[in-house]
Amino acid sequence: MHDEVALGIKRSAEMAAIFMIGDGLLGLVQPTRHIDLWRSEVAAVDALVRPFAARPTARRLYGLAQLAAGITLAARLRR
Separation between Cα atoms, residue 7 and residue 5, nearest integer Å: 5
Closest CA to 24 of 72, 75, 61: 61
What is this structure's pTM?
0.87
Position 78 confidence tier, pLDDT thresholds 50, 70, 90: confident
Helices marked H in the chain: 2-29, 31-38, 43-49, 56-76
Per-residue model confidence as pLDDT tens digits over 19-73: 999 999 999 999 999 999 999 999 999 999 999 999 999 999 999 999 999 999 9
